[in-house]
Structure 1
Amino acid sequence: MITNDKIHNCKIQPCFFAFFTLSCNFLEDKKEGNTEDKDKKEEDNRLYFEGEIKLSESRGLYGSLTKVHTTYYISENKIKREQEWGGVYSMLENYAGIIIDLKKDRVVMYYADKLSSTRNKHTLSIKDYKTHLKTKVMPKGIPSPVDRTFELLLDYRLINQVKDSTVIKGFKSDFTRYHDDTDFLKQDVFDSKEIKVKRELLEMVFMNLPEEINFPLKSEVKTTFSEISNDSIIKGKQTKAIDQLARNILRKKDSTVKKETDLEKLSKNKWLNMGLKILKKGVDLNIHITADVSDFSVRTLTNIDVSIPSGDFTEILDFDEFLNTLPTGGSVDFDD
């Protein structure tokens, strides 16, 4: 005889198994969710890079003779950048630097020139420094306290990016290529997200830092002049420039150099085309800037590493006055 209790038990059993199965799935999902959260938290809490990175930069045809050395001392809340001439100009012993300390809310900029016995510094808060970056124009000479790696092109148009394209100093590095709006210049950048530096520090040191770039370990700026046909140059955006170039090369008045140049005749002028080939090669050799890692160490920094160099520095209270002591120059210091 089947009692009501037995019927009740038969109805409950499938429900119990269903509940048990759902509970297991929920716990498994929660476990997986916790794992994902844990991985994300570990990603966010990765140790910040601490150590020294030195980049060596060469510019133009005689770049090996006119090196520029830039050293970065980096920790979680501090960064120090110091730049000096190398090569034939190393005898000048000029250098400029910046020290940013997030915890102390302090920025110290300094510059030293041995020949003029100049040793100046300026101290300000992080807020004031960020304001100055927006409202003031930093001198563009060498050496400089700030980094202008991403101000070498007139504007930055991202062309291509390849993640983990190579390994530099043991760190996986991405490759990114930029062109300017004329396609005349291109810049290749290799950076590594594995070198974790606080974004705030990077953006206060690297002017115009693209959002997709981490700490840059290598950069190369080239022209695309040799890749452009003479005919395209003459008839394209560079028409006015090539018109003036023709006047300077030919230096006489004839049927091809009039008040208004006949571009069709120019494009067929064999001497001009020959001159353009030589010119393009020369431009490509001279307008060429490379920066690459020359020294690298992961280590605990000392107080000396992230301090202003020894010696008596004169505190310049006015920011503009301090800027006036820095070297000035064009946006790019190419070799002549």
Structure 2
Amino acid sequence: MKKKSLLKTLSLLLSLVMMFALIAGCSKDDDKKDDKKEEKAEEKVEEKADDKKEEKAEEKEEKAEEPAKETEAAPDVSDEGFVIGFAQAQADSPYYVTLQDSAEAACEEAGVDFRLIDAAKDPSKQSQDVADLIQAGVDLVILNPVDSDSCAPAIQSSLDSGVPLITVNRPSNAEGSVSHVGEDNKLMGKTVGLAALDLLGGSGNVEGKVIIEFMGGAGNNNTNLRSAGFHEAFEGEGVEIVQSPYCDFNRAKAVEAAQDLFQANPDVELVFAHNDDMAIGAMQVAEQQGLEGIFFTGVDGLMEAVEYIVEGKYHVTTMNDPKLQGQESVKVALKILAGEEVDDFVDVGTQLITADNAADYVSDEDFATQVKD
């Protein structure tokens, strides 16, 4: 009886051991299955991630391969005998010389006569200049206003005569021009402002620092917008911006103003001018006075300024391309004369120029044709 009882007990124990082994085996199989499922799921996630990366890379490649947009060609009106009059604000500025020269070259290429008249910064004379051009029989007037508020009589002459008028570089505050060709001046001011903020140490690190701003012209939209954009870049930063008297975008006047401004603000760390010409004048005064460590920034992309950036004397400018504006203003004029529709505002765009890319502009033969003196 004892043997039988022992055998039964051993048999029961053996059965239990086998059952536990079977359960353990099944559990391992399940774990392996789960591991395989997890591995497959991970592979799928990785594959999807890789696919997305490849798709993004392909999209970037496609975008990179897209050809640069070409500006629309001007209509051919060479057989029409058209005459375009150009009413210039001031021919004593190298920037405006480039503007008028490029417009004249574009007219010559298009087979259109070009007539230039200079207001010499006199708003009253400019109004008469436009009237005289119309009286002389021009078919369209390109007007670079002396200032944005005073050109209403010139535009009224256009409306009264039926001779279309477009503005270039400086817009008019009076209504009646068919189109305006230029850049976004507020954006240019802000672009230079943000670059200037970085030069001074970046956001949060400029409180109490002094900036001198050389002002362009009273009542001038370019002045107001460039100033507004620059100030917007420093909003809430706690800097002190000292504004000069209006220097009319003129280097000699900026030089005169800089003499006193540097004396009154010996701790100035950065100069911002509404054009490169004024900023260069201020830079030259600083050199004469032995002042060091001042950053000089401006607007226009004047070749002289770009060369000074390469030398390390000047620091930031933004392209306000007079050559392109002259060309585009003539292109818009030709479209109007051909009876085509044109936009109210033709933005020719801008680019920031710093020590990182100034040398590229200097080596660009087309850019290097800009007037420097």
Question: TM range, normalised to the smaller chain?
Answer: under 0.3
Task: Provide the TM-score with structure 2 as the length reference.
Answer: 0.24
Query: Over alpha carbons, which structure has the higher Rg?
Result: 2
* Higher share in helix: 2
